Structure formats: structure tokens, C-alpha cells
Amino acid sequence: MNRTNNAEMEFAVNHVPPSDDRYLKLMDVENVRSALRFHRSFPEYEVTPLHHLKKMSSYLGLGGLYVKDESYRFGLNAFKVLGGSFAIASHIAKKTGKNVDELPYDVLSSEVFREEMGQTTFYTATDGNHGRGVAWSANKLGQKAVVRMPHGSSETRRANIAKEGAEVTIENLNYDDCVRLAAAQAKADPDGVIIQDTAWRGYTDIPGWIMQGYGTLALEADRQLHANGVERPTHVIVQAGVGSLAGAVVGFFANRYKGDEPVMSVCEAGSAACLYRSAKKGTGQTVKVRGKLDTIMAGLACGEPNIIGWDILRNHARGFAACPDWMSAKGTRMYGVPLAGDPTVISGESGSVTMGFLAAIMMYPRYAEIKEALGLDENSQVLLISTEGNTDPMRFREIVWDGLYGVRHRGEEVVK
């Protein structure tokens, strides 16, 4: 396959009226430290790498470029386990009347505690990474998991979830309808609980805990930046599906550098850009995207915003980008075939779109207005997050080996 795609990116500078910002406190530093303490209690815990891409930052005309590599997270090749595991622990803490700090891994995984609490079945919908994280966490903690996946999901990702002992099926539904299915099945099960990385009216506690769990990677990255001599990132660019990760990362840095926030922006898959469309509408109301949401960025193929994440983003994100698939493919190739002297980063389609976005606005004159709107220049210290590694080997080879979604240049001179 040598498919090309010359679809254009769309970008909206954030002019949405601010809300009361009630959800920002979810991501305050103390809450995130609690999540990090929990994650550190797992035997598998290690801080994931923060790569300094020195040559690439120079090539793109930046002061510094850093990428948090979540392909190393708990051996699961993606960051999502951070949210699912902390949400399960927080749910159990609430159910048993304890503080989550009283329930580290060795307590939750003990036979005595499981006999005391009994078993819960955690239901979720996923394109792969979130479901695998929930299934892995439930398995480790002696609980059960049921996972529903949307049409077009990778068989490799389904098999990885099944290996964790979960009941898992691929449904003839899009992601958002799978969420509704999982929620209905959890409601019908006396021992069922929905663990979903999105929020809707009446369902905010568990999504909030998931976002706090994601905060672990932001806190780690902040500490690693300081160790690299970077007092504060000037720019943070983060990808979004429903907006849980984006809201978590933006919320953490907004709290961490209150009064002097980095310039933060959000990248979505163009066919599922519910946050971009909500920002473009400009009223504060969310916009839902319907249909099949076809994109190679499976982890970002979500058409209904997380109301918590959106509320944080409308108050603290500078802009929102609806990115075509070629940006993701370009980012994967740039990470995987680095400039001499830079480390190789194995980044899947949902992990690499921010690199493709950054490269495009720094290199292509047609995006000069976006570069200016974000204030990117030779003094910028930019943080990206590669949220997944090679989680779909067949698609990864199509991109890297076969040139899937290669870019046909339009005769414009690339800025270096």
C-alpha cells in the first residue's frame, strides 16, 4: 500500500468564553502526587523515558524538544494503564471507606483483602490501550473485566486484552456506541462498574480518577525536564480522543505553573475532532461527531467530548487542531528514523500525531499563522507525549515500510 493523503489540517485559536473552571482542582499537584504514589507501589513501576531530541529541535528551529515515551509503561506499550489502575483503586477505596493512599498494590492484590471485598466486574469500551490497561489492572488486583471494542479494532489489540483474562468482543458499533453498550451492561450487572475514560452528566467520579492517574506521566515529565535544566516547558502539545489525557496534562501544568502557564494546544484526528469543533463553535457547548470516525489514529477515534476534559481545555488550551492522517504517519516516521544523534522513538499512530503537527507548522509556510499564534520560535522548550508504541504491528509496518499516508509536497519550499 502506498496511499497518500493531502488533506489539510484545520486549526482553531481558543476564543471560547471561560467557565468557572470547577474541574481544574482535580489535577492539582497533591492529587497527582497521590496517583504517583499508588503507581510506584506496583512491582512493574519504572519512570518512562523523556527523550531530548536535540538534533530535531535544531532542525525545526526550536530551543528544545522533549518527548515522553509511554511505550515503556508497565510493559503494556501505552500510558492508559495509569488511568484504569488508579480509578479501580479509588473506586475500591470509596467502597471500603478508605483513603486511596491506604491501598497500595500489595494490599489490593492480597488474598485477605480480596476475600473481604469480594469481586467486582469492571466494564469498559476501548480501541485497545485503555481496555488492556483495565484488564491488566483487574487481573493484577484479583477483579474481573469485560471489554467492548468498536468496529475496525485490531485483532492484535483484542488478543492482548484477552491475554489478561478479560471477556472481550469487537462490536459492529463505533467507539461512542460501545461506551453506551458497556455502560448498559455494567448497570445490568449487580457486581458491575463502568470504568470509562470519558465523562458525561452524572458520571464524573471515575473519569476524574482516571485523569488523575494520567497525571503521573505529567508529573514525571515535569521532574525530568527540571533534571534536564528546563525550569518550565514553554509549550505543551498533547493529543486527544475524548479529551481525558489532554485535560489531565493541561490541567496539571496549569496548576503547576499557575500564573505562568505554558502555551498548550491539542491535536485530534480530523475525522473525530469533537474538541476542535467545540472550540470552533465558540459558545462553550460541546459538539459531537457522528458516524464511523475512520482514521488510522484508532486511539483518538472518539466523537463525544469528556465534559471534565473539555471544561479544563476551554479555560487553558491556546488552540485545537484537527489533524489529517498523514500528520500521524509523518510523525511515526520522524520518530522512527531520527536525525543522527537523536534517540529512536517507536511511536504508534495515536502517539505520533503531535510530532507530525509540530513538524508541519515549523516546516511548511502554509501553517505560518498557526506557528505565530502559538508563539513557537528558537527559544521554545516543547514537550510532546508519545502515548503508545507499536500496538498494531501490521499498521505500523504499512506506515514505516510501505509509506501509508505519504505526503506529496505542493512545490512549497520547506522552512529549515
pLDDT tens for each residue of 226-241: 999 999 999 999 999 9
Residue 76 pLDDT class (50, 70, 90 cuts): very high
Mean pLDDT over 5-17 rounds to 91
- The answer on pLDDT for 245 being more than 60 is yes
- The answer on pLDDT for 3 being more than 70 is no
pLDDT at 318: 98
- 127 part of the active site: yes
Rounded CA separation 225/233 (Å): 8
CATH classification of 10-79+206-400 is 2.140.10.30, yes or no?
A: no
Q: Which residues lie across from 68 on neighbouring strands?
A: 50, 385
Q: Which residues lie across from 145 on neighbouring strands?
A: 122
Mean pLDDT over 90-101 rounds to 95
pLDDT at 416: 64
Residue 2 pLDDT class (50, 70, 90 cuts): very low
- Are 99 and 129 within 8 A, CB to CB? no
Q: pLDDT exceeding 90 applies to what percent of the chain?
A: 92
pLDDT at 252: 98
pLDDT at 116: 86
At 401, list the grid cell. 515500510
pLDDT at 1: 37
At 179, list the grid cell. 461506551
Residue 412 pLDDT class (50, 70, 90 cuts): confident
**How confident is the model over 261-296, as pLDDT tens digits?**
999 999 999 999 999 999 999 999 999 999 888 999
Distances, alpha carbon 380 to alpha carbons 51, 63, 222, 229, in Å:
16, 5, 16, 14
pLDDT at 246: 98
By CB atoms closer than 10 A (0-12, 13-18, 19+), residue 243 is: buried
Thinking of the domain 81-203, which architecture would CATH place it in? 3-Layer(aba) Sandwich (3.40)
Q: How many CA atoms lie within 13 A of 389 on its CB side?
A: 15
Q: Which residues lie across from 78 on neighbouring strands?
A: 388
Rounded CA separation 24/391 (Å): 31
Residue 156, Cβ neighbours under 10 Å: how many?
A: 14
- Are 246 and 304 within 8 A, CB to CB? no
Rounded CA separation 35/89 (Å): 10
pLDDT at 410: 67
Q: Which of 280, 207, 202, 197 is nearest to 240 (CA)?
A: 197
Of the residues 68, 80, 140, 330, which is catalytic? 80
- 25 part of the active site: no
Of the residues 95, 98, 101, 127, which is catalytic? 127
Domain positions in the chain are 10-79+206-400, 81-203
Rounded CA separation 344/322 (Å): 26
**How confident is the model over 132-191, as pLDDT tens digits?**
999 999 999 999 999 999 998 989 999 999 999 999 999 999 999 999 999 999 999 999
Radius of gyration from C-alpha coordinates of the chain: 20
- The answer on pLDDT for 365 being more than 70 is yes
Q: Which of 180, 204, 195 is nearest to 81 (CA)?
A: 195
At 262, list the grid cell. 505554558
Mean pLDDT over 392-396 rounds to 93
- Does 81-203 match 10-79+206-400 at the fold level? yes
Average pLDDT, the chain: 95
Q: Which of 247, 213, 220, 223 is nearest to 100 (CA)?
A: 213
Task: List the 50-52 sheet strands across, edge first.
Answer: 10-13, 319-323, 263-269, 235-239, 381-386, 64-69, 50-52
